[in-house]
């Protein structure tokens, strides 16, 4: 037998493995047919099926590199974790962290742990890739190669309760779990369309936490090939919010910044969560017992929903203008959970700091007193054209209505519903596709008399896309 007839070893990435599972679940293709399609052996497809639960868990975790073909762990995991912790502390203090500094610190940590380890450039490159570390803007380092500062000693959660006056306004946070019918249209409510959105901001509106969206589907088709790190919001494959994990991450983030903050919650929720282990940097402050747990001011939540509904109607109107004869309800079927993530992130960004500040002060949730200018009303979402103020107000509060008999269809990938191909997953865009799309978008802007400010935003996007294409 000639050597050229041997099959080359072809390892599949995590994204490709998820595509294999979806093909097996949603089509009548056999494992052998799928193996031929991906140019791998049938036993490899069988192993993917056996590890289905673990692969899906990695896919939905948001931390796994979906393009990596083999999962290799660091031999020196304790040094890996310790260096990552030091790196976050250094970045929080705006130090100029360089490669030689990281190598020096890794060696220092290894000596402290009694491990015979000499870090190399190759090890540092792999460490950065594993932990998604990249060097951004450079800052002044003072002093150079400074030792790690001693850990901040914080009072345990069991000490005497604190009040709002013990925190600065920037360190007082409120949060809310918001039910959202993400693709509903005016006059049509579908129970299958609901997601849960977690919003969190401080009382000055100067700091908003990353939006978290919880949905029914464990692995929505629209997420195929999508990098969770590139998304403006997080997705949780359950309708409920994972409060324990979210609080733990919030606590870690505040610890890296050397801060101690307060999170406002209902009294009974504070009692329920007061014993959470390891919660050192986030203090839970109880509100009145009648408060709905957990809660941002209602005006902030409503402003978020108003901005979301307005952006959703604009997106549906664009679909209608592209396809004549398409009703608003038919256009809404094409809205996916991935679309909802982007719409939610955009709507949350539109909620102004002034509105958040005003709402916290009016409801007595901000420490101290702030004089508000009566002639400066906080910005709210304008009423879309085609709807009256009353109609739009009812549309914003759509979650309070009972679902009607005509429920929305499940998400689909058909061409009629969302511009995707019938019977399979849409192929992932290539670098050439991205550059071609930039050219098309610029040409469209040139032919439609757009403003110079919009071109400036386009140039920023064009520059970033071109940079990513060179990686």
CB-neighbour burial class of residue 438 (10 A; exposed 0-12, middle 13-18, buried 19+) = middle
> 423: alpha, beta or left, given left = phi > 0 and alpha = psi -120 to 50?
left
Residues 6+ away with beta carbon under 8 Å from 229: 62, 132
Q: What share of the chain is helix, strand, coil (3-state, %, to 5)?
A: 45, 10, 45
The larger pLDDT score, comparing residue 34 to residue 195, is at 195
Pick the most confident of 149-163, 279-293, 313-327, 375-389: 313-327
Starting at the edge strand found earlier in the chain, the sheet holding 261-265 runs: 234-236, 212-214, 194-202, 172-181, 261-265, 282-286
What is the pLDDT at residue 201?
Answer: 94
The predicted structure's pLDDT at residue 308: 92
What is the band of 212 on the pLDDT scale with cuts at 50, 70, 90? Answer: very high
Would you say residue 41 has pLDDT above 90?
no
Tell whether the model's pLDDT for residue 470 goes beyond 90: no
pLDDT of amino acid 414:
38
What's residue 294's pLDDT? 52
Q: Indicate if the pLDDT at residue 8 is higher than 50.
A: yes
Backbone CA torsion sign across 167, 169, 171, 175 = positive
pLDDT at res. 1:
43
Distance, CA of 106 to chain centre: 30
* Amino acid 207: pLDDT: 93
pLDDT at 16 over 50: yes
Beta strands 172-181 and 261-265: pairing type? Answer: parallel
DSSP string computed for 215-245: -S-SS-GGGTT--GGGSSSEEESSSS--HHH
- Most confident option among 52-61, 75-84, 186-195, 416-425: 75-84
User: Which of 169-173, 312-316, 368-372 has the least mean pLDDT?
Assistant: 368-372
**pLDDT, tens digit, for every residue of 397-439?**
777 665 555 444 445 443 444 444 444 556 778 888 888 888 8
What does the pLDDT read at residue 211?
A: 94
pTM to 2 decimal places: 0.58
Q: What is the mean pLDDT of residues 12-18?
A: 79
Position with higher pLDDT, 443 vs 254: 254
- Decide: 97 and 122 in contact? Cβ < 8 Å: no
Does the N-terminal peptide bond of residue 333 adopt cis geometry, omega within 30 degrees of 0? no
Q: What is the pLDDT of residue 406?
A: 47
128's torsion region: left (phi>0), alpha (psi -120 to 50) or beta?
A: alpha
Q: Which residues pair with 32 in a beta bridge?
A: none
Per-residue pLDDT at 375 exceeds 50 = no
Res. 454 pLDDT band, cuts 50 70 90: confident
Rounded Cα gap, residues 419 and 412, in angstroms: 10
State residue 213's pLDDT score: 93
**For 117-145, what is each residue's pLDDT tens digit?**
888 888 888 887 776 676 443 333 333 33
Q: What is the mean pLDDT of residues 298-313?
A: 90
CA separation (Å) from 149 to 87, 146, 218? 12, 8, 42
Are 213 and 344 in contact by the 8 Å Cβ rule? The answer is: yes
Helices (H), 94-185: 99-112, 121-130
Secondary structure string (H, E, C) spanning 298-349:
HHHHHHHHHHHHHHHHHHHHHHHHHCCCCCHHHHHHCCCHHHHHHHHHHHHH
Indicate if the pLDDT at residue 198 is higher than 80.
yes
């Amino acid at each position: 037998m000639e050597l050229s007839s041997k099959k080359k070893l072809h390892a599949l990435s995590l994204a490709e493995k998820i595509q294999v599972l979806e093909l097996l679940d949603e089509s009548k293709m056999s494992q052998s047919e799928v193996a031929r399609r991906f140019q791998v052996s049938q036993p490899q497809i069988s192993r993917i099926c056996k590890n289905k639960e673990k692969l899906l868990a990695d896919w939905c975790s948001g931390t796994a590199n979906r393009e990596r073909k083999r999962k290799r762990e660091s031999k020196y995991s304790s040094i890996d974790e310790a260096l990552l912790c030091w790196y976050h502390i250094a970045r929080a203090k705006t130090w100029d962290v360089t490669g030689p500094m990281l190598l020096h610190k890794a060696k220092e940590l290894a000596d402290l742990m009694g491990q015979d380890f000499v870090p190399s450039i190759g090890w540092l490159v792999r460490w950065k890739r594993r932990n998604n570390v990249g060097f951004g803007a450079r800052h002044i380092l003072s002093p150079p190669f400074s030792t790690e500062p001693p850990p901040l000693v914080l009072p345990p959660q069991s000490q005497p309760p604190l009040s709002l006056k013990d925190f600065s306004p920037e360190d007082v946070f409120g949060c809310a779990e918001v039910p959202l019918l993400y693709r509903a249209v005016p006059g049509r409510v579908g129970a299958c369309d609901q997601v849960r959105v977690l919003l969190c901001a401080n009382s000055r509106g100067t700091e908003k936490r990353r939006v978290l969206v919880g949905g029914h589907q464990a692995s929505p088709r629209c997420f195929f090939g999508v990098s969770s790190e590139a998304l403006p919001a997080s997705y949780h494959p359950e309708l409920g919010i994972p409060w324990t994990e979210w609080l733990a991450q919030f606590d870690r983030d505040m610890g890296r910044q050397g801060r101690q903050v307060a999170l406002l919650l209902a009294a009974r929720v504070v009692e329920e969560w007061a014993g959470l282990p390891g919660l050192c940097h986030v203090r839970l402050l109880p509100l009145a017992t009648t408060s709905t747990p957990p809660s941002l001011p209602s005006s902030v939540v409503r402003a978020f929903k108003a901005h979301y509904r307005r952006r959703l109607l604009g997106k549906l109107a664009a679909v209608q203008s592209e396809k004549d004869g398409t009703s608003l309800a038919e256009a809404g079927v094409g809205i996916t959970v991935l679309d909802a993530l982007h719409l939610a992130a955009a709507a949350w960004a539109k909620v102004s700091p002034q509105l958040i500040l005003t709402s916290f002060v009016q409801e007595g949730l901000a420490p101290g007193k702030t004089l508000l200018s009566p002639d400066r009303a906080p910005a709210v979402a304008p009423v879309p054209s085609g709807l009256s103020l009353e109609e739009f107000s009812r549309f914003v509060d759509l979650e309070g209505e009972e679902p009607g008999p005509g429920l929305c269809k499940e998400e689909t990938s058909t061409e009629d519903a969302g511009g995707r191909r019938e019977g399979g997953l849409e192929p992932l865009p290539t670098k050439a596709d991205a550059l071609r799309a930039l050219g098309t978008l610029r040409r469209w802007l040139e032919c439609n008399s757009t403003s110079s400010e919009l071109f400036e935003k386009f140039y920023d996007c064009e520059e970033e896309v071109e940079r990513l294409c060179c990686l």
